Amino acid sequence: MTWLLQVLVVLWGVFGVWALLAPKKLVAFGRSLFPVSSLRVWAIIVLALSYGIWITAPATSIVVLLQVIAVLALIKGIILLFVSKQTAEKWYAYWEMKPAMMRLFGIVALALAYFVYMVA
């Protein structure tokens, strides 16, 4: 497993545990870390991460899964580049998650982190 995947596994694990234990604090942290005004910066970061995952995928035994994740990240990065601030604010309002939904995302993140760690 490459260093990029190790970092992603740790981040997915931290997100998963945080989402399970304190979902409201995670949402507040996310809002402060990802303000609507900095979407273009995050789009470039997501695009770079997408490229890194795509390049890293052949070095693992789960090539297809990582390539799917890379393509999804690429799509997200492209959308974030071209979305207007008004649309982004509507998305933020729409995705106001209840704690139970955030916990579900935490479980998915933990499962993904565990799977990538064990298989890759």
Residue pLDDT, tens place only, 7-57: 999 999 999 999 999 988 988 888 888 887 888 999 999 999 999 999 999
- Residue 1 pLDDT exceeds 70: no
Distance of CA 4 to CAs 8, 15, 40, 85, 97, Å?
A: 6, 16, 22, 31, 29
Pairwise CA distance, residues 26 & 38, whole Å: 18
Confirm if 18 and 93 have CB atoms less than 8 A apart.
Answer: no
- In this predicted model, what pLDDT tens digit does every residue of 45-101 receive, in sequence order? 999 999 999 999 999 999 999 999 999 999 999 999 999 888 888 887 776 778 888
Q: Domain locations in the chain?
A: 3-119
Confirm if 97 and 1 have CB atoms less than 8 A apart.
Answer: no
Show Cβ contacts of residue 18 under 8 Å, excluding neighbours closer than 6 positions. Answer: 25, 26, 106
* pLDDT score for 9: 94
* pLDDT score for 36: 79
* pLDDT score for 107: 95
Show Cβ contacts of residue 85 under 8 Å, excluding neighbours closer than 6 positions. Answer: 36, 37, 39
Confirm if 57 and 67 have CB atoms less than 8 A apart.
Answer: yes
* pLDDT score for 28: 84
* pLDDT score for 73: 96
Q: Encode 60-83: b = buried (16+ Cβ within 10 Å), e = exposed.
A: eebeebbeebbeebbebbeebeeb
- In this predicted model, what pLDDT tens digit does every residue of 85-105 receive, in sequence order? 888 888 877 767 788 888 999
